[in-house]
Amino acid sequence: MIPQNTRKGEQMDTEIITEAIGTLTVNKLRTGLATLGIVIGIGSVITLISLGQSASQEIQSQIQSLGSNLLTVQPGGQDQSGVQGAVGGGATLTLEDAESLKTSPQITTIKNVSPEYSSRTQVTTGRTNTNTQVIGVTPVYKDVRNITLASGNFINESQVKGTAKVAVVGPTVVTDLFCAEEQNCSFGENTSPLGQTIRINGQTFTIIGVTTSKGGTGFGNQDDIVWVPITTAQKQLFGASHVTSIVLEAKSAEVMLAAQNEVGYFLLGRHKLTDPSKKDFSIINQQDLLNTVNQTTGIFTTFLAGVAAISLLVGGIGIMNIMLVTVTERTREIGLRKALGAKKKTIVTQFLVESIILTFVGGIIGIGIGILASYIISRFTNFPFVISPNSILLAFAVSAGIGILFGWYPARKAANLQPIEALRYE
């Protein structure tokens, strides 16, 4: 059998909640305006946290699409201050360095070696042109960089040895050169750009392959690239004897650091350098790059969430002001209830429940708006749609915390009113 005092307690709790809801619905406009600050604050926090996490995932995806377990050796060293550019400037790496890394018995942690020569230049065909990145590569580039072909073939070894004037193009290059805005391509509908010719630095190249789209925009767009044999890029296009980078694929993620040290000491010996601080190359570890991206986007997301949290503070202050006005309006009611024996605890609970209901409802609406806004942004930016469960839990916790924190003072003020003075209040 349920004790009588327990039943009374449950009934009292229900009455308090019912009365709180009834009081808040008397003046709907004021209640709505009080809740608006919480709605905006919670919605902003969830949206901005989602945006930061989406951007982080997109950048990581773009980096990982370039290949996994990669080390990139670039010409020019770094001094102790981190300033790029030391002995040898930008022409300190050669094809011979790449070949030595590939064949040396001292290198035990590297799976593939891909030398590259990269430069931006104008590419034209007929009356259209585009400024894009042209990269001279060897056949292994396809495996190292996770390149897949939508049609045709990638560059082979005989084309590298013969300095052939052939090119593999990304889908963005195809669109820019051959397709008008209405997507009618100049080489004919339902036909392929394979076999078409383009001009790079005034020299004619034949398209032998088109890559599958990787997505992305801006300067590092992997779809906006033309690949040619590295010997052709060096000798025919740009007149260079060096390479702009050597990309190395480690055998596993576990040996990345060992591979970095192994390659570094090998190149120091090959370049006849005894002092590591005078090195004429630098090695970029892909994992370090990913860690830096995560750290940077994490700081940025925290900053944005902090800015959005200011609106939560403003919303909380707004709720406290509304509750103080409510206390003033209900002074005679409070005095009457205390004269009839209502305890301070009951009065405090009454006003705290009203404040918590305001913030809780505002929090739920804000969460919904935040999720909806995040989804809309992801659709327009092509970023992944990411909602962190932690951000939703944080939103609930913050909503409850604001209700208690900013509702406590008005509740205490109401509970401390003297019955006689309250009844005399006009």
Residue 225 has pLDDT above 90, yes or no: yes
pLDDT at 31: 73
As given in the structure block, the two tokens for residue 405 are: 């924190």
pLDDT at 82: 42
d(CA 138, CA 155): 7
Q: Which residue, among 419, 367, 325, has the nearest Cα to 43 in the 3D structure? A: 367
| In the chain, where the domains are located | 4-62+293-424, 115-244
Predicted confidence (pLDDT) per residue in 290-348, tens digit: 777 777 777 777 777 777 677 777 777 777 777 777 766 666 666 666 666 667 677 77
Share of the chain above pLDDT 70, in %: 75
Q: Which residue, among 388, 398, 391, 408, has the nearest Cα to 313 in the 3D structure? A: 398
DSSP 255-306: GHHHHHHHHHHHHHHHTT---GGG-SEEEEEHHHHHHHHHHHHHHHHHHHHH
Residue 78 has pLDDT above 70, yes or no: no
Confidence at 19, pLDDT banded by 50, 70, 90 = low
d(CA 45, CA 252): 39
List C-alpha distances in Å: 279 to 85, 107, 258, 309, 387: 10, 19, 18, 47, 45
Among 18-32, 72-86, 201-215, 356-370, name the one with the lowest average pLDDT.
72-86
H-state helical runs in 27-130? 28-65, 95-103
As given in the structure block, the two tokens for residue 390 are: 């932690």
Report the relative pairing of strands 128-137 and 225-229 from DSSP bridges. parallel
pLDDT at 294: 74
Residue 191 has pLDDT above 70, yes or no: no
Please tell me the chain's helix, strand, coil percentages from 3-state DSSP, rounded to the nearest 5: 55, 15, 25
d(CA 322, CA 30): 8
Share of the chain above pLDDT 90, in %: 24
Among 124-138, 375-389, 412-426, name the one with the lowest average pLDDT.
412-426
H-state helical runs in 162-285? 171-178, 230-232, 256-270
Half-sphere exposure of 136 (CA within 13 A, CB side): 31
Q: What is the mean pLDDT of residues 21-37?
A: 72
The rounded Cα 418 to chain-centroid distance in angstroms is 57
d(CA 356, CA 62): 44
pLDDT at 13: 58
Specify the DSSP element, H or E, that contains 310.
Answer: helix 286-329
Q: Which residue, among 299, 386, 374, has the nearest Cα to 53 in the 3D structure? A: 386
User: What is the pLDDT of the chain when averaged over all its residues?
Assistant: 78
